[in-house]
Amino acid sequence: MPFDVVRTTLDSGVIVLALSGSMTMGNQLLELERVVKELITGNQKGIVVDMSKVSYLDSSAIGALVACHSNMKNSGGQLRLAGVTPRVSTVFKMTGVDKVLSLDPTREDSVSALSAGA
Protein backbone atom coordinates (compact mmCIF):
# COMPACT_ATOMS: atom_id res chain seq x y z
CA MET A 1 0.00 0.00 0.00
CA PRO A 2 1.52 3.36 -0.99
CA PHE A 3 2.30 5.92 1.69
CA ASP A 4 -0.02 8.93 1.93
CA VAL A 5 -0.38 12.04 4.13
CA VAL A 6 -3.71 13.86 4.57
CA ARG A 7 -3.69 17.17 6.44
CA THR A 8 -6.68 18.42 8.48
CA THR A 9 -6.95 21.56 10.60
CA LEU A 10 -9.21 21.20 13.64
CA ASP A 11 -11.26 24.02 15.16
CA SER A 12 -8.82 24.03 18.10
CA GLY A 13 -6.01 24.97 15.70
CA VAL A 14 -4.33 21.58 16.01
CA ILE A 15 -3.13 20.10 12.71
CA VAL A 16 -3.71 16.38 12.15
CA LEU A 17 -1.52 14.58 9.65
CA ALA A 18 -3.23 11.25 8.90
CA LEU A 19 -0.70 8.78 7.53
CA SER A 20 -1.51 5.56 5.72
CA GLY A 21 0.37 2.77 4.01
CA SER A 22 4.00 1.72 4.34
CA MET A 23 6.49 4.27 5.61
CA THR A 24 9.75 3.44 3.86
CA MET A 25 12.77 5.34 2.62
CA GLY A 26 11.95 7.67 -0.24
CA ASN A 27 10.32 10.88 -1.35
CA GLN A 28 7.22 10.29 0.78
CA LEU A 29 9.20 10.61 4.01
CA LEU A 30 10.92 13.71 2.69
CA GLU A 31 7.45 15.11 1.97
CA LEU A 32 6.36 14.40 5.56
CA GLU A 33 9.42 16.22 6.91
CA ARG A 34 8.81 19.10 4.48
CA VAL A 35 5.18 19.44 5.62
CA VAL A 36 6.19 19.53 9.29
CA LYS A 37 8.92 22.12 8.60
CA GLU A 38 6.39 24.21 6.67
CA LEU A 39 3.98 24.07 9.62
CA ILE A 40 6.76 25.05 12.03
CA THR A 41 7.66 28.01 9.80
CA GLY A 42 3.98 29.00 9.98
CA ASN A 43 4.28 28.98 13.80
CA GLN A 44 2.16 25.84 14.28
CA LYS A 45 2.54 24.66 17.88
CA GLY A 46 0.49 21.45 17.89
CA ILE A 47 0.63 18.56 15.42
CA VAL A 48 -0.95 15.13 15.75
CA VAL A 49 0.40 12.40 13.50
CA ASP A 50 -2.37 9.80 13.18
CA MET A 51 -0.64 6.48 12.49
CA SER A 52 -3.68 4.22 12.81
CA LYS A 53 -3.47 3.26 9.12
CA VAL A 54 0.30 2.78 8.89
CA SER A 55 0.95 -0.88 8.11
CA TYR A 56 4.75 -0.89 8.16
CA LEU A 57 7.71 1.38 8.77
CA ASP A 58 11.45 1.04 8.34
CA SER A 59 14.38 2.69 10.11
CA SER A 60 14.32 5.71 7.81
CA ALA A 61 10.69 6.31 8.83
CA ILE A 62 11.68 6.16 12.50
CA GLY A 63 14.41 8.69 11.75
CA ALA A 64 11.95 10.98 9.96
CA LEU A 65 9.47 10.83 12.87
CA VAL A 66 12.21 11.55 15.42
CA ALA A 67 13.43 14.46 13.28
CA CYS A 68 9.90 15.89 13.02
CA HIS A 69 9.43 15.50 16.78
CA SER A 70 12.77 17.19 17.52
CA ASN A 71 12.11 20.06 15.11
CA MET A 72 8.72 20.72 16.73
CA LYS A 73 10.19 20.56 20.23
CA ASN A 74 13.04 22.91 19.28
CA SER A 75 10.51 25.41 17.92
CA GLY A 76 8.52 25.38 21.16
CA GLY A 77 5.77 23.16 19.79
CA GLN A 78 4.69 19.60 20.31
CA LEU A 79 4.17 16.65 17.97
CA ARG A 80 2.23 13.63 19.22
CA LEU A 81 1.69 10.26 17.53
CA ALA A 82 -1.77 8.72 17.75
CA GLY A 83 -3.22 5.29 17.09
CA VAL A 84 0.04 3.43 16.61
CA THR A 85 -0.75 -0.13 15.48
CA PRO A 86 0.54 -3.09 17.53
CA ARG A 87 3.06 -3.97 14.82
CA VAL A 88 4.50 -0.44 14.70
CA SER A 89 4.37 -0.19 18.49
CA THR A 90 6.56 -3.29 18.73
CA VAL A 91 9.15 -1.66 16.47
CA PHE A 92 9.07 1.51 18.58
CA LYS A 93 9.58 -0.51 21.77
CA MET A 94 12.41 -2.60 20.28
CA THR A 95 14.27 0.54 19.20
CA GLY A 96 13.50 2.58 22.33
CA VAL A 97 11.79 5.26 20.27
CA ASP A 98 8.66 4.90 22.42
CA LYS A 99 10.65 6.70 25.16
CA VAL A 100 11.41 9.66 22.85
CA LEU A 101 8.15 10.21 20.98
CA SER A 102 4.85 11.23 22.57
CA LEU A 103 2.45 8.33 21.91
CA ASP A 104 -1.31 8.29 22.53
CA PRO A 105 -3.85 5.51 21.95
CA THR A 106 -6.17 7.66 19.81
CA ARG A 107 -6.26 10.86 17.80
CA GLU A 108 -8.68 12.32 20.35
CA ASP A 109 -6.23 11.58 23.19
CA SER A 110 -3.46 13.38 21.31
CA VAL A 111 -5.66 16.41 20.62
CA SER A 112 -6.71 16.52 24.28
CA ALA A 113 -3.08 16.32 25.44
CA LEU A 114 -2.12 19.21 23.13
CA SER A 115 -5.11 21.27 24.26
CA ALA A 116 -4.16 20.67 27.91
CA GLY A 117 -0.59 21.73 27.15
CA ALA A 118 0.81 18.33 28.16
- The CATH number of the domain where 85 resides is what? 3.30.750.24
**How much is the pLDDT for 95?**
94
Domain span at residue 63 reads: 4-115
Residue 118 has pLDDT above 80, yes or no: no
Residue 1 has pLDDT above 80, yes or no: no
Phi, psi of 76 (to 5 degrees): 90, 10
Q: Tell me: the pLDDT tens digits for 62-116?
A: 999 999 999 999 999 999 999 999 999 999 999 999 999 999 999 999 999 998 8
Number of domains the chain is built from: 1
The reported pTM is 0.93
